Structure 1
Amino acid sequence: MDKKLIAICGDAVEELRKLPDKSINLIVTDPPYNLNKDYGTNQDNLEFDEYLEFSRQWLKEAHRVLSDNGSLYVFMGMRYISYIYSILEHEIGMYFNSWITWYYTQGTGKTKGFSPRHDDILLFTKHHTKFVFNLDDIRVPQKFYRSVNNMRGANPGNVWEFSHMHYCNKNRQKHPTQKPEALYERMILASSNKGDTILDPFVGSGTLLRVCQQTDRLGIGIDNNPEYIKMTNERLNSPFTGFDSIDERMKRVPNDLNDAQIRIEYIQNHIKWFLAYHPDAINEFVEEVKRKYCNKLIESGQYALVDQLSKGRS
């Protein structure tokens, strides 16, 4: 395992207290939602006020260790999210930036009431204007090519659609709330730079450290379950073939790529821009290019060049 990736077994608050002030560039974490889930070493069932005090303690420590231009992304269930928001803004003094909705197509079924189909993620920053946000690194492909568009893509917005980590997914771990790697990919690329130190005080199955490993970041993960720390280390030592999930828009081929030179440059750039961490999606993208522009590729003599992209010979 890369020594720049550290998985610590211990209590989140206690381990956070050991970290120096302003030593972390970004925090991305999925803490317990207090929904009575079994996390092996503890049951997630604190009394209401106890849970808020627990949240208050770790959030204050998170704020202390965060750099002046750092950001915090925190997943949270609907019952407590307004309280977490209030703690961050009114008690700790962080600055609200975005309320992200992670939409998924399958979730818990209900017979009385509406079945949930989303989770929420709060983005707060330590400074109201001076914080890292790399929009170009997280853009999504445009629907149409227009010379006036930014062909690096569009802002992905605050509603993100990624599939749940279904039990049939080859990367599914024995963890009750494992999140898709592409969620963390977007947050980490947006709010940190290569070489930065990223922290997850509730690292669970190790998703954050796996994404840090592949995106050239330093990572610190904390969890009080030794089995999850073992799981994380095993995951970091496994071969990488691409992140286990993707925003389907990343494979989208813009319409109206009619100019031959623009078309070939865009296609090559698309793989670099949008599929750098998704090599297993390149073939699907190339096949869609050929389906959409087959005749034009043949006429311009570009068909063979495009075909090579999916074979790693570009």
Structure 2
Amino acid sequence: MDINLEAICGDAIIELKKIESNSVDLIVTDPPYNLNKHYGNNYDKFEFDEYLNFSREWIKEAVRVLKPDGTMYVFMGMKYISYIYNVLEKEMEMYFNSWITWYYTQGIGKTKGYSPRHDDILMFTKDKKRFKFNLDEIRVPQKYYRSVNNMRGANPGNVWEFSHMHYCNKNRMKHPTQKPEGLYERMILASSDEGDVVLDPFLGSGTLLRVCQNTNRNGIGIDINPEYIRMSKERLEEKFLGFDSIDERMKRVPNDLNNAEIRENYIKNHISWFLKNHQDAIDDFMKEVKEKYYDKMKETNQLYLFKTYTSYKCRKK
């Protein structure tokens, strides 16, 4: 599928005004939190009312370009999230769907008060009922296999655990608030289809474009810093070996896969359902399969699966 990935250098509000109304299927964005972060050529430092007015302006344009059945995900810090919620629901008349909590194990340390260990993501839709949500694309494996369960997996819920983008991560860029690709993967797969247009008015390190590139979506990213635009374009040239983060549940092997035929089908399907964008996690999955079912698989002549799938990550996507 031919897709278009566009990284635009410019002010988010000015560039959003150039985009045609009702032309974008999905917006996923991580705007400034007004925490005095240094973003190369600008500081995230506004007076309170100034920041809210800035937020209103970009949100108004974002809603305008969103299609009638479109969805918007907005990352936001604790200090302003209630105000952004109000702007989206009361002022822009969007429909609230979900408040997602991204939990991570390491973050800012505090000696007086509790150290923060989560970010929040607001999910709003332009229409109350008519919007895309591809649940099968984002299910997580069950703890136990039961014939009454959906073998495809369960709804991931609204608390997501993904590792923070540590400075030792191979994909860590020179950006102070880089987000994991796994977060964007889930939102993009859930709320858009292949060939759709996905927009990020605050592109930063280019995560949205990288995920769009490898999920067959058209992507538009805007950032005011030319260095971040250059960084994002270089990132798109890198070989894809799997996204840089994963919900650890995706590697989970259900208990009670005792029927040989069901077990074989499940292992094959698990790779394509849950790990198609995470080739580097397949060995961990197969290791757990071996720990749980090796003896049974030996009895049923299924050991070939280890040879077949442990080499999967070496193949091109």
Contact 1:98 1:122 in 2 (8 A): yes
Contact 1:286 1:307 in 2 (8 A): no
Shift of residue 307, structure 1, vs aligned partner = 2.8
Q: Aligned with 2:98: secondary structure?
A: strand
Render the CA deviation track for 1:78-119: whole Å, top value 9, x for unaligned: 000000000000000000000000000000000110000000
Shift of residue 3, structure 1, vs aligned partner = 6.7
Contact 2:3 2:217 in 1 (8 A): no
Distance in 2, Cα, partners of 1:305 & 1:246: 23
2:195 maps to a residue whose letter is G
Distance in 2, Cα, partners of 1:295 & 1:133: 40
Q: Aligned with 1:232: secondary structure?
A: helix
1:79 matched to which residue of 2?
79
> How big is the alpha-carbon RMSD for the aligned residues of Structure 1 and Structure 2?
1.2
Distance in 1, Cα, partners of 2:183 & 2:3: 24
Distance in 2, Cα, partners of 1:68 & 1:4: 22
Render the CA deviation track for 1:252-303: whole Å, top value 9, x for unaligned: 0000000000000000000000000001111111111011101100000001
2:65 matched to which residue of 1?
65
1:106 matched to which residue of 2?
106
Render the CA deviation track for 1:202-228: whole Å, top value 9, x for unaligned: 000000000000000000000000000
Distance in 2, Cα, partners of 1:253 & 1:110: 37
Matches within 5 A, 1:66-145: 66-145=66-145
- Structure 1 segments unaligned to the other structure (5+ residues): none
Distance in 2, Cα, partners of 1:234 & 1:94: 35
1:46 matched to which residue of 2?
46
Matches within 5 A, 1:169-248: 169-248=169-248
Shift of residue 305, structure 1, vs aligned partner = 2.8
1:37 matched to which residue of 2?
37
Q: Aligned with 2:79: secondary structure?
A: helix
Identity %: 71
TM-score (norm 2): 0.97
Distance in 1, Cα, partners of 2:169 & 2:305: 33
Distance in 2, Cα, partners of 1:289 & 1:79: 44
TM-score (norm 1): 0.98
Q: Aligned with 1:28: secondary structure?
A: strand
Distance in 1, Cα, partners of 2:63 & 2:54: 14
Render the CA deviation track for 1:55-89: whole Å, top value 9, x for unaligned: 00000000000001000000000000000000000
2:257 matched to which residue of 1?
257
Contact 1:290 1:303 in 2 (8 A): no
1:10 matched to which residue of 2?
10
Distance in 1, Cα, partners of 2:3 & 2:244: 23
Contact 1:71 1:191 in 2 (8 A): yes
Distance in 2, Cα, partners of 1:104 & 1:39: 23
Contact 2:3 2:195 in 1 (8 A): no
Structure 1 segments, 4+ long, off by >4 Å, are: none
Aligned residues: 313
Distance in 2, Cα, partners of 1:3 & 1:259: 42
2:267 maps to a residue whose letter is I
Shift of residue 165, structure 1, vs aligned partner = 0.1
